[in-house]
Each structure stands twice: as structure tokens, then as C-alpha cells.
Structure 1
Amino acid sequence: MRVSIQSLSDSDRKDLKPVYLLFGSEILLLEEVSDALRKQARQQGYTERDSFVVEQGFDWGALLQSGSSMSLFDEKRLIELRMPTGKPGQPGSRMLIELAENMPPDTLLMVICGAVDRTGQNQKWFKALDAAGVTAEAKEVKLADFPGWLSHRLRSKGLLPDQQSIELLTHYFEGNLLAAAQEIDLLALNISSDNGSLHDAKQQLAVLQSSVSDNSRFSVFSYLDACLAGDWLRTSRIIDALRAEKDQSVFLIVMLGREVRRLTQIASALAGGANKGQVFKQYRVWGADQHRIDGAIRRHGRDQWQQILQQIAKLDKIAKGRASSEGISIWFDIEKLSMKICGLKIS
């Protein structure tokens, strides 16, 4: 049975289903929902827990044995299976179907996958798990939906979803759920430590403005997301915000260098004929990051990424005063290179 991912987060779930299939590209949502289900299971007496992670050479028989064996102390059991690729293969598919159709009493199965495409959702193992319990997809939160997500998040933490707070959070953390969630948690903590009671919107905004001004490094991660996605409009806005604040150029260059170095290695492996799924697993490319990396590699080939990496090394020297900028400041060079990464032609 399909349900929204939000319904699993918000509900008390007095009656847990025997099977939960959680999948999608938004890792934060997946982790929070799985944590909530885990907590609810403990509260309802599921004190025994078996955890499995599907990797190369995974023993599917061990999973089936866990599901079919009786607890030594007659306790309720939670079986947790993580399958990052969302592809169990033929042996795994058979085991999942058998387990879904023969779930023993007092046993709960939670399967957590990465993104599963339409073809995967039509496979027998997926349908069997869906029929046996509940299925929820953690979809990537689109930029247009980000303010709504912020509003819901603020309410869930006992904060006020006022327009100015949402606009400020959107400006700094647009599209970066993890950074936004951390900032909202910090805001709730700061408000609580100030007076321990409900506050007004003006007070909340003042605390938030003070906090984000000290946390502009979060904007660097938003910059990386936008730049690798080829979104120049968003990238340029973030650069302007960083340029107007205390200098973050060195941190930005270091983080950009790490990402581009990883991209160069991935592009080199794929150019050499390596399997994309295995390469992504090796370099820990999960969820929504897969779409950004795919797009970046289509935009530039291995040789181009190597050239960009060399340009970042030059930027590092400029930032540390060992070379001269082409413009009036290091931000001119950062902006120029960012345009190239986004795929814009530069004269």
C-alpha cells in the first residue's frame, strides 16, 4: 500500500504493518522516517533487531533464515535491510518475495533502498513487499516545494513558519535539506535556551539572522550542489551572498577541489569502461547526488574535469597570496570558473 513519506513521520502508528518498504533519492527523509519507525517498533515491544546491508556477495540466505527463525526468548523482532542500489538481482528478488509472503508473527521487516525507477517498481519483489505492507517514496524536494518543506519543518519543531524566516532560510539553504534541517534544529535550541516559551516572529527572525550570519559555510555546500547541477542562476546568487559576507573563498575552493577531484576520478573510471553502479558505490554517490554527478559528467568529459582541477589549484594559490587574480578579487576567478563548470561558454 502506497502512502506519503510525511504520513509515516507524523503518525503515531498504533498498528505497525509487517513490512515497510522505504525508497527514494532524499536521504534525509529516508533516515528520519526509518528512525521514527525504529522508535515506534521499540515502543511496541520489538526489542530484537537484525540488520543487513546488501553489498557484493551478500548472503540472501542469512536474511531468509533471520525471517523464518524463532526468537530464542520469544521476543518481537525487527529485520532491517539496506539495499542502496534498489536492485536485489534474481536471488535477492526470490528471497524478498518468499519473505514478504511468509512473514512470521511478531516480526517486522523494514527495507530501505535508494532511488528505484519505474522499471524497478514494476518488478515482482517490489510489488510483493508493497502488497505485504506499506511503501513510501522519499522524493527529492524540488526548489519550488522547498518553502513548503521549510514551513512544515518549522512547525514540527514548535517554531513559527512566518514568511520572513522562510525567505531567509530559502536564501541561504535553497535545495539543501540537511543544512536547512540542522539550522532549524539550532534555531529551536537557541529559542528554547533563551526563554523556554513560545516567541514572536520578530524575535525568531532576529535569532535566525544572527545564526545564519555565523553559518555561511552552509552556503558553500549549497553552492556545490547548484554548481555541479549546472544551475548558473542559483550558483551566481549564492556566490553574491558569500561575497557579501565574511570571506569564505578559501573554504569554498577547498570543498570545490574535493568535489571536482572526485568527479575527475569517477569520469576516468567510466571512460575506462567501469560499471557505473559499482563506480558510484565506490565513491559513495547516493540518492539525489547521482543525478548531479550524471549531469556533470555529461556536461564535461574526463579531460575537461582534469583541466578544471588544475584551475582550482591555481585558485588555491591566488587565495593564499601566491598568485595574482585576473580581476579585482578572488571572487572574479571563482565566478569565471563556476560559469565554466555550469557549462556556460566563456570568451
Structure 2
Amino acid sequence: MELRPDQLAAQAAGQPLRPVYLVAGSETLLVLEAADAIRARARSEGIEREVFDADGREPDWDALSASFNAPSLFSSRRLIELRLPSGKPGKAGAEVIGEFCADPPGDVTLLIVAGDWSKAHHGKWVDAVSRVGVVSVAWPVKPHELPGWIDRRLRERGLRAAPDAVQGLAERVEGNLLAAAQEIDKLALLAPEGILDLERMQSLVADAARYDVFRLLESALSGQPAQVRRMLAGLRAEGEQVAGLMPMVIRELLRAATLARAQARGANLAAEMKSQGLWESRQAPFKRALQRHATPLRWNRFAAYASRIDRAAKGRGAGEPWQLLERLLLAIAEQAPATRLLAGAGR
């Protein structure tokens, strides 16, 4: 049986546990919630839980196999949780899982949690799980699906919102389901009865620094120096600290360097952007920036300069952090400042 993560959570709440579950996918929030539903049902029935971690070195699959038939010390039933970050048990692990599914012990439920998943992960052991249990894959939520996901979650929390309010929240969280879930939980506490309109939604959802930094970087990548100056001035006036902004700045510069390398070797840039987790709505600024600064070396130099800013912001290097950050972002936004910046940096 195959179920969506939300369907699995509903089933776990209302039906007896199946012999085996596979919960997998890169959408961490959805995987966590689906697996938590299984764990919660087990707790409610007084079932003892054991964890077998198959991360890192070669797992002891014989030990896992033996534990399926070992008597429990504290409970007549057990939930054995197999943590499989890669989603690949290998030949030995697949055989152990397949043998379990062929003749599941009556007192054991096997929960397999995988943090990585694609169609390439599918194999005979997955078919075996599906025959006697449940397979639930948390596929990435696509941009056009996010408003619907937000609307459903709002309704689950007893809230209703106008379509433009839902769209506004979707644009704000930029595909981050955890951020969306946190905002919705907050709305459930703060929102009055009735339908949330866009204005009310905006007044209740915080303008976090992450959101502001994201827009700042987007302006730099898009080649908008005037916008960069205005936003930097606004962040500084609001009391933001450069040290708190730099992790995202450095991350995006390293991402751009990776894209520049892919472009230089003739790879499919759209596919590379998708693999980097860039939604279509976020791809245009990177494409424009890569037209201005095509070489990977230049992006590596930008990233090195950003590290210098980070050290200065933490009191470990020379220079005024806000001025250094402005120089960097203007260099990203325009060719001439970039030439001056990198020449002045001795590179």
C-alpha cells in the first residue's frame, strides 16, 4: 500500500499498526510528522521502541535480523525503528527487510525512516514492504503546490484564509515547509475567528531577518545596486548585525560558484539549479548574475571576500563590516565595482 504522509498520519491515528512502514523523502517536516504518527500510535498502545541506526559504517544486519525474534524485556510488542539516511540498505539489508516482510513476527512493527529518496531507490525490498505494510514518500512540494499545502494545513488548524493571503504566505516562506508550519502554528494562536485576509496575514506573520536577507541577495544577483543600498540601509537602521547575515550570504555565493562550474563544463544549468534546490521563481536572479560573472574563479573570490567580512563582523579581522558588505554586494550587482573590489583585494 502506498499513502501520502498526511494519509499515513490519519491512518495511524485510526487503525491498528501494520507490520511494516517505509517513510522516506527529502521533505524533512513531512517525513518527521508521518514517522511521529507511527511512534505516537505505538506509545498509546504501550509498545516498546527500539532504534537501529544504519548510518555511517556497515550496519550489523545480522543483529537487526536477530532482534526481530528476540523477546522483549518490557512489553509484549515492539516497534523497531530502522534509520536509513541514504535510503539504500544494500544487498544484505535488503535481504533482511525482505525476509521480515515475508513472515512478519506478530509482536513486531518495523518502521523504516529514510532521509533520501528517488525513483532509483525502488527495489524488490520496497515492493515487499508495500505488499504487507505501507510505503509513504514525502516528495518535494512543488511551487504551484505550496499554496494548496498551506491552505490544507491552515484548515487542519481551524483557520481559513483568503486566496491572496495564502499566496502571500507561500511567497514569504519560499518553499521552506518548516517555516510555513511554524507560521501557521503561530497564526492558530493569534488569529481571530473568520477568514484571514492578506492585510491581517501580513500583520501577524513576522518579517524575519532571513526574509530580508533573501531579498537583499536577490537584488544583488539581479543587478539592482540602488535597491541593494536601500535595503542595506534599512537593515542597519533596524539594528541587524552583519555577523547574523553572513551565513546566508556565504551559502548563496558558494551555490553560485557551483552553478558557475556547471555552466563552465557545459552541464544543463536548469537541471543543476533544480538539484541545488532553486525553485523556478529563484532561478532568474542567478541566471542574470552568471551572465555578469561567468567564471567559477570570480565566485570563489566573492566567497573568500565574504569570509573576510564574516571575520571582521566577529571582531577577528580589519574593516568596517557594513562597508565591506556593501562593497561586496555592489560588486555582485555590477561589473565595474567587481573589478575594483577584486583588484583591491589583491586577487
TM normalised by structure 1 equals 0.70
Partner SS for 1:3: coil
Counterpart residue number, 2:248: 255
User: What amino acid is aligned across from residue 146 of structure 1 in structure 2?
Assistant: L
Counterpart residue number, 1:184: 184
Asked if structure 1 preserves the Cα contact closer than 8 Å seen for 2:165 and 2:197, the reply is no
Q: How does 1:103-118 map to 2 (within 5 A)?
A: 103-118=104-119
Q: Following the alignment from structure 2 to structure 1, what is the Cα–Cα distance between the partners of residues 146 and 79?
A: 33
CA positional deviation for 1:183? 1.1
Q: How does 1:1-347 map to 2 (within 5 A)?
A: 1-11=1-11, 12-46=13-47, 48-55=48-55, 56-121=57-122, 123-191=123-191, 199-202=193-196, 205-206=199-200, 208-218=201-211, 220=213, 246-247=235-236, 250=242, 251-258=244-251, 260=253, 291-292=275-276, 303=297, 305-313=299-307, 320-323=321-324, 325=326, 332-333=330-331, 335=333
User: What amino acid is aligned across from residue 308 of structure 1 in structure 2?
Assistant: F
**Shift in alpha-carbon separation, 1:69–1:293, aligned structure 2, 3 A:** same
CA positional deviation for 1:44? 2.7
Q: Following the alignment from structure 2 to structure 1, what is the Cα–Cα distance between the partners of residues 125 and 298?
A: 41
CA positional deviation for 1:209? 2.0
Asked if structure 2 preserves the Cα contact closer than 8 Å seen for 1:51 and 1:79, the reply is yes
Q: Following the alignment from structure 1 to structure 2, what is the Cα–Cα distance between the partners of residues 91 and 18?
A: 20
Residue by residue over 1:249-304, the C-alpha shift from the partner in whole angstroms, topping out at 9 and shown as x without a partner, is 83333322256569989x99xxxxxxxxxxxxxxxxxxxx99217999xx999745
CA positional deviation for 1:74? 4.5
CA positional deviation for 1:216? 4.0
User: What amino acid is aligned across from residue 116 of structure 1 in structure 2?
Assistant: W
Partner SS for 1:51: strand
**Shift in alpha-carbon separation, 1:74–1:40, aligned structure 2, 3 A:** closer
**Shift in alpha-carbon separation, 1:323–1:260, aligned structure 2, 3 A:** closer
CA positional deviation for 1:217? 2.4
Q: Following the alignment from structure 1 to structure 2, what is the Cα–Cα distance between the partners of residues 301 and 165?
A: 41
Asked if structure 2 preserves the Cα contact closer than 8 Å seen for 1:216 and 1:242, the reply is no
Partner SS for 2:80: strand
Residue by residue over 1:29-78, the C-alpha shift from the partner in whole angstroms, topping out at 9 and shown as x without a partner, is 000111111111222332x1101221222211221122121213442111
Q: Following the alignment from structure 1 to structure 2, what is the Cα–Cα distance between the partners of residues 20 and 126?
A: 10
Asked if structure 2 preserves the Cα contact closer than 8 Å seen for 1:22 and 1:112, the reply is yes
Q: Following the alignment from structure 1 to structure 2, what is the Cα–Cα distance between the partners of residues 156 and 59?
A: 41
Asked if structure 2 preserves the Cα contact closer than 8 Å seen for 1:176 and 1:222, the reply is no
Q: Following the alignment from structure 2 to structure 1, what is the Cα–Cα distance between the partners of residues 230 and 27?
A: 26
User: What amino acid is aligned across from residue 275 of structure 2 in structure 1?
Assistant: H
CA positional deviation for 1:153? 1.1
User: What amino acid is aligned across from residue 62 of structure 2 in structure 1?
Assistant: G
Asked if structure 1 preserves the Cα contact closer than 8 Å seen for 2:216 and 2:232, the reply is no
* Unaligned segments of structure 2, at least 5 residues: 262-272, 284-289, 313-318, 339-347
User: What amino acid is aligned across from residue 201 of structure 1 in structure 2?
Assistant: I
Q: Which moved more, 1:309-318 or 1:66-75?
A: 309-318
* Unaligned segments of structure 1, at least 5 residues: 192-197, 269-288, 341-347
**Number of residue pairs matched by the alignment:** 296
Asked if structure 2 preserves the Cα contact closer than 8 Å seen for 1:20 and 1:111, the reply is yes
Q: Following the alignment from structure 2 to structure 1, what is the Cα–Cα distance between the partners of residues 203 and 147?
A: 20
Asked if structure 2 preserves the Cα contact closer than 8 Å seen for 1:68 and 1:103, the reply is no
TM normalised by structure 2 equals 0.70
* Percent of matched pairs sharing the same residue: 33
Q: Following the alignment from structure 2 to structure 1, what is the Cα–Cα distance between the partners of residues 277 and 308?
A: 23
Residue by residue over 1:204-253, the C-alpha shift from the partner in whole angstroms, topping out at 9 and shown as x without a partner, is 952x32343442424546988x99xxxx78x99x9899679645683333
Partner SS for 2:49: strand
**Shift in alpha-carbon separation, 1:331–1:306, aligned structure 2, 3 A:** closer
Which has the greater radius of gyration?
2
Asked if structure 2 preserves the Cα contact closer than 8 Å seen for 1:263 and 1:293, the reply is no
Partner SS for 1:2: coil
